[in-house]
Amino acid sequence: MSRPERTYLDWNATAPLNPAARAAAVAAFDLVGNPSSVHGEGRAARALVEGARRAVAVLAGADAAHVVFTSGATEAANLVLTPVFRMGKAPLAIGRLYVSAIEHPALREGGRFPRDAVTEIPVTPAGVVDLAALERLLAAHDAATGLPMVAVMLANNETGIVQPVREAAGIVHRHRGLMVVDAVQGAGRLPLSIAALDADFLILSSHKLGGPKGAGALVARGEVLMPAPLVHGGGQEKGHRSGTENVAALAGFSAAAQAALDGFDARNARVAALRDRLEAQMREVAPDVIVHGRDGPRLANTSFFSLPGLKSETGQIAFDLEGIALSAGSACSSGKVGASHVLTAMGFDAALGGLRVSLGETTSEEDVQRFLAAFERVAGRRRIGEAAA
């Protein structure tokens, strides 16, 4: 029996390496110099790092001087989520972290905050952060402990639902708090500007954009207010993140950031049309399929669905055997598959499984058709199982 042709529909977990990013990273491996060295070889490596900083700043609508490179989004989250900040040279205390119930685990874990200093912000049944609840929580915040910090993602990694970040930031700043936005899924898929979002910090990841794994960034609104370093040592990244920069990965990150802005509107329109056709045909095959967030603003590439009676882990394995790579929620727990904390936060029964299809610029009509053929077979086996029961 021949193995089925593979179809990759898990771009929200990691995007395939962009050809320009691959070429840039490979070329950078030939740069022998350390970017902190002052000789010609070192200066060449430094020029590449600073070029990457400018490219990421353009992507984020920020100043290049305010981009701090990290090993990825998880490190960036752990860098910024801390009760210890400095305003210039003076220490500044952050008393409590308020994090939405649908955040990626990298933020829900609270970073360097003690667990008893982390408060969850509920979301509505539509999967959107509850702004009224946020207002109540911040109104009750004990200012004597320090300023509040709030973390709300730009777009949810499972459902693709776009969050009201600017509105949340307005509430946060009225209460003299700091606003952290996980923009990992939104970058390259939504217009992105740290000023337009009214955010104090953005978190970005290279490999979600089609760059290499192992590079990310914390983007700040300014240079005066910054978190205490997470990684100490040689003082790279202006002392915010010590350690020799990953030059090759940053070269790829730079190319991927530039590619993400090229043809932005046309790419998103094409992907959205594919996603909408996929969902319409899923409903024809299985009228009871639940597409989460379909009536609200979502990322153009994301479809998070549930088939009643089909567990997420069973569904993921079934599609993998059909040659379809998709996800049961977020790829963040070393292969673990369990109840979606996002669906639970939205009020769904924890037993309801969720499967995520996420598309990208190279996804084809044929890829969608192969998925739909597999979907019909998986849904059919589910019905046979129900009849036998």
Task: Assign residue 238 the CATH number of its domain.
Answer: 3.40.640.10
Tens of pLDDT along 44-79? Answer: 999 999 999 999 999 999 999 999 999 999 999 999
- pLDDT the model gives residue 389: 37
- pLDDT the model gives residue 339: 72
* DSSP letter for each residue of 148-204: EEEE--SB-TTT-BBP-HHHHHHHHHHTT-EEEEE-TTTBTTB---TTTTT-SEEEE
Q: Please state which of the ranges 182-186, 266-270, 336-340 shows the lowest mean pLDDT.
A: 336-340
Domain endpoint, select from 234, 261, 288:
261
The pLDDT confidence band at residue 347, using thresholds 50, 70 and 90, is confident
The pLDDT confidence band at residue 241, using thresholds 50, 70 and 90, is very high
- pLDDT the model gives residue 387: 37
Three-state secondary structure call for residue 19: helix
The pLDDT confidence band at residue 337, using thresholds 50, 70 and 90, is low
Instruction: Give a yes or no: residue 71 inside a domain.
Output: yes
Degrees, nearest 5: CA angle 368-316-208: 65
Instruction: Judge whether 197 and 218 are in contact, CB under 8 Å.
Output: no
Instruction: Give a yes or no: residue 77 inside a domain.
Output: yes
Number of domains the chain contains: 2
Q: Is the same domain home to 275 and 253?
A: no
Using the structure block, give the residue that is written with the tokens 């946060």.
Answer: 172
- CATH value at residue 277: 3.90.1150.10
- pLDDT the model gives residue 287: 96
Instruction: Judge whether 204 and 70 are in contact, CB under 8 Å.
Output: no
Q: Is the same domain home to 330 and 359?
A: yes
Q: Is the same domain home to 124 and 257?
A: yes
Strand partners, 187: 190
Domain endpoint, select from 227, 261, 295:
261
- Name the catalytic one among 332, 333, 365, 366: 332
On the question of pLDDT at 170 being above 60, the answer is: yes
Domain endpoint, select from 216, 236, 261:
261
On the question of pLDDT at 334 being above 70, the answer is: no
Instruction: Judge whether 122 and 101 are in contact, CB under 8 Å.
Output: yes
Using the structure block, give the residue that is written with the tokens 């639970």.
Answer: 344
Instruction: Give a yes or no: residue 339 inside a domain.
Output: yes
Per DSSP, 3 falls in state P
Largest CA distance in the chain: 74
Three-state secondary structure call for residue 67: strand
Instruction: Give a yes or no: residue 356 inside a domain.
Output: yes
Q: Strands 178-182 and 118-121, how do they pair?
A: unpaired
Residue 71 sits in which domain range? 22-261
Amino acid occupying residue 311? K
Instruction: Judge whether 199 and 221 are in contact, CB under 8 Å.
Output: yes
- How far is Cα 368 from Cα 363, in angstroms, rounded to an integer? 8
Looking at residues 219-236, what average pLDDT do you find? 96
Amino acid occupying residue 255? A
User: Which of the two residues, 308 and 163, has the higher pLDDT score?
Assistant: 163
- pLDDT the model gives residue 382: 73
Looking at residues 266-286, what average pLDDT do you find? 97
Instruction: Give a yes or no: residue 307 inside a domain.
Output: yes
332 given a catalytic annotation: yes
Q: Is the same domain home to 198 and 331?
A: no
Q: Please state which of the ranges 10-14, 47-51, 296-300, 335-339 shows the lowest mean pLDDT.
A: 335-339
The pLDDT confidence band at residue 354, using thresholds 50, 70 and 90, is very high
Three-state secondary structure call for residue 50: helix
The pLDDT confidence band at residue 388, using thresholds 50, 70 and 90, is very low
- pLDDT the model gives residue 335: 52
pTM: 0.94
Q: Is the same domain home to 95 and 210?
A: yes
Tens of pLDDT along 114-147? Answer: 999 999 999 999 999 999 999 999 999 999 999 9
* DSSP letter for each residue of 254-288: HHHHHHHHTTHHHHHHHHHHHHHHHHHHHHHH-TT
Q: Is the same domain home to 255 and 273?
A: no
Angle formed by the axes of helices 264-285 and 365-388, to 10°?
30
- pLDDT the model gives residue 94: 97
